[in-house]
Amino acid sequence: MTDPAFSVKAQASLDQSQIKAIAEGSVSHPVTVAELEAFGLANKLRDSVEKNFGEKPKVVYYKRDEDPFELFKKYAWMPLQTKVTARDPKNIKVASDGEVVYNLNKFTNNGPNPATFHASATVQVETSMSESWSKSGSVSVDQSISYGLTALGLGGETSFNFTSGWSSIKGFSDSTTLGETAGVEVPLNPGQSAYVVIKAQKGTLTMTVPYEATLLGGLAVNYDPTYKDHHFWYLHINNILKSCGLPKKVTIEQTLTFAFFTNVSVTVHDCATDKVISSQTFDQPMMALAAVEGTDGASLIKENAA
């Protein structure tokens, strides 16, 4: 399996000062017609060369396999390529969605003697992640993106990692467990009743990841008759873009949004007085991720979930 070309890592917290995000990686490939169009060059290569070099050529070659004279190979010229580079995320925001509270089953000591009861102390909640893209169709990327998302609580952390295709995943939802999976032990006197409460803070992290597309290499041009005493010339693409007033980069933006739970607590309350009998706090946040099919058949793979 090919390693992902890009890596996006984010650390979320309800504390704004603890939020961090980074995006890395780049990939290059032979330019496509759609990419030429994105840079304003589609069906305009000969005209663009004329504007840059002073004379319209007979033929322009930008790919090795379209060059019958093998000019790129013979002169070690670089054919036209597109390079896509991930830039650091921007517009990073975290929002608190408030506290969620879950009251669990009541239990009672109906016996004549004090006793310790084992009570369930978990609840299933739904998590979700979504993404949207701008201009993603203008650039072709066959490789994937790896994501590492971490949320911080007051003293611990939980993370998950997954990989998806370029512009392939539109969102997912899954469930995760909040609370103490082992349950809680509660001592009750005869006739005493209690109930379990699970509380957590829910947050949402949103960020935009820019991917910058640029062109590398150049064009092999054929003049017949000769121009400036030569049939063949090599022109760097960035000089052509500058001469024609065309953009030197195209930016594709990916907006990511994911929810996380943090500051989870489990408390046991006396039914008669509502007094807390016992309590337990989990500093680490809890999130989950399941395998989800993308629009192009790409799959998110669960690697680790709290």
For 119-135, how does the pLDDT look when each residue is reduced to its tens digit (9 = 90+)?
Answer: 878 888 776 777 888 87
Q: Dihedral through CA 32, CA 33, CA 37, CA 41, nearest 10?
A: 90
Could you give the CA distance from residue 246 to residue 179 in angstroms, rounded to a whole number?
Answer: 57
Residue-level pLDDT at 174:
64
For residue 160, the model assigns a pLDDT of: 53
Residues 192-199: what's their mean pLDDT? 93
What the block records as the tokens of 23 is 């995006």
pLDDT of residue 140: 83
**What integer is the mean pLDDT of 188-210?**
92
pLDDT beyond 70 at 21? yes
Quote the crossing angle between the two packed helices 45-53 and 237-244, to the nearest 10°.
80
Q: Decide if pLDDT at 3 tops 70.
A: yes
- Measured distance CA(194)–CA(270) in Å, rounded: 4
Give CA angle at 239 (235, 245), nearest 5°.
130
The answer to whether residue 296 scores a pLDDT higher than 50 is: no
What pLDDT score was predicted for residue 278? Answer: 87
The pairing of strands 249-270 and 6-12 is unpaired
How much is the pLDDT for 294?
Answer: 27
- How high is the pLDDT of residue 169? 58
Q: pLDDT band for position 168 (50/70/90)? A: low
Mean pLDDT within 35-40: 95
Provide the pLDDT for residue 257. 87
- What pLDDT is stored for residue 62 in this prediction? 98
Pick the more confident residue, 158 or 67.
Answer: 67
- The DSSP-derived string for 72-102 is HHHTTPPPPEEEEEE---EEEEEEEEEEEEE
Q: Two tokens at 187?
A: 């001592």
